[in-house]
Amino acid sequence: MKTIGIIGGGQLGLMIAEQAHLLGVRAVALDPAPDAPAFRVCDDHIVAAYNDAEALERLCRQCDAVTYEFENVPGDILIPLSEKYNIPQGYKPLYDSQDRLREKSNAREHGLQTPRFAAVDDEASLRTAVRELGLPAVLKTRTLGYDGHGQMVLKSGADIERALPLLTVPCILEEFIPFDSEASIVMVADRERVVSFPVGRNIHRDGILDLSIVPAAADPEVLERMKLQSERFMRACGYEGILAIEYFIRGREIYFNEMAPRPHNSGHYTIEGCTTNQFRELVRYLIGEPLQEPQLVAPTVMKNILGQDLEAAREVEKENREGVYVHIYGKTESRPKRKMGHITFVGMTGETYEKEWADRFVR
């Protein structure tokens, strides 16, 4: 029996482990929190910090292959480990995505269009960048941002003053794209092929993903181009394993926003909405089994459940409706804006969701 290791024990680790089990594969997770959600389903676990080299080595030793769901594993630990153990995705995709400046430069070098951007380190470089890019613009910390944390939209000159406190760490200023919609794609690649999941439209609220609607209602030519350019990008960068890319769509233009070499929140719909899912294909990749091309089962909507919607989600779960799949991650502490679960509605369009379901959750 094969064993995979997961660096990180959040909901992504939990869902990787569930799919591993369905494929007859054991799973071990490492996470600093003793009550990490993935620990409940994993066959074994290690409670340790992400920079605990000895603990990470212990994880590697007991696994046939190791992956990560946590994006900020330090390179000085992961690189030596990936030379000694089987961490097939390696450090490169993490390295390329850990810093927004490097991430966007890399995307551009490999042929993807990005919003215009400039590095910002202090007030002078912020003022120069604003002159260059114009307003509105988005100021983001270069590292460690997630769910809209460490970001600020600058609309006027007065906002520059307000943004100064953010500049204690290196930042990037990006042109604000008044997009028509946001979309993302999840791909899994091995040496032979890249498989990609149907592109969904993403709706964010307060900087956090709220809904994914699949298929994305955008121009088919734009969606096809997104798929082709994403697959080409993944190959050109030499990445293997899993990669998600978030885009802005404006007219016929596609702008790369960011990428993540791990399962993606917008891909949770694939568990029930596709013939195979992002977690399962990642496990197949890790254990060296041929990848399967996913097909969409039916139009699908995924609703993220944050702390404020947890009770409503439990009610929906009790109703046991056909095509409605409630996932609660089992986090011990519920907070507003914390991702506590998600619900997948298979056989549902965005319009029907709005009409029949949206009112059940906090607006």
Residues 219-248 that bind ligand ATP (CB under 6 A): 246
Burial class of residue 130 (count of CB atoms within 10 Å of its CB; 0-12, 13-18, 19+) = buried
What is the C-alpha separation between 93 and 91, in angstroms, rounded?
Answer: 6
Candidate segments 77-85, 143-151, 280-288, 340-348, binder of ligand ATP by CB under 6 A: 143-151
Q: Could you please report the per-residue DSSP string of 318-353? A: HH--TTEEEEE---SS--TTSEEEEEEEET--HHHH
Is residue 138 a contact point for ligand ATP (CB under 6 A)?
yes
Is residue 212 a contact point for ligand ATP (CB under 6 A)?
no
Structure tokens at 271: 């568990």
Contact track, Mg ion, 209-248, x by CB under 5 A? -------------------------------------x--
| Cβ count within 10 A of residue 338 | 16
Is residue 58 a contact point for ligand ATP (CB under 6 A)?
no
What is the C-alpha separation between 273 and 346, in angstroms, rounded?
Answer: 6
State the minimum distance, in angstroms, from the CB of residue 172 to ligand ATP. Answer: 10
What is the C-alpha separation between 19 and 27, in angstroms, rounded?
Answer: 10
Residue 126 neighbours by CB under 8 Å, 6+ apart: 120, 139, 160, 163, 164, 167, 171, 173
Candidate segments 127-135, 174-182, 308-316, 320-328, binder of ligand ATP by CB under 6 A: 174-182
Is residue 72 a contact point for ligand ATP (CB under 6 A)?
no
Query: Is the Cβ of residue 80 or residue 170 nearer to ligand ATP in the bound state?
Result: 170
Query: Is the Cβ of residue 180 or residue 258 nearer to Mg ion in the bound state?
Result: 258
**Pairing relationship of beta strands 171-175 and 117-120 according to DSSP bridges:** antiparallel
Is residue 176 a contact point for ligand ATP (CB under 6 A)?
yes
Query: Is the Cβ of residue 32 or residue 148 nearer to ligand ATP in the bound state?
Result: 148
Is residue 95 a contact point for ligand ATP (CB under 6 A)?
no
What is the C-alpha separation between 325 and 334, in angstroms, rounded?
Answer: 20
Residue of 64, 258, 289, 317 interacting with ligand ATP (CB under 6 A): 258
Interface residues with ligand ATP (CB under 6 A)? Answer: 115, 138, 145-149, 174, 176-177, 182, 204, 207, 246, 257-258
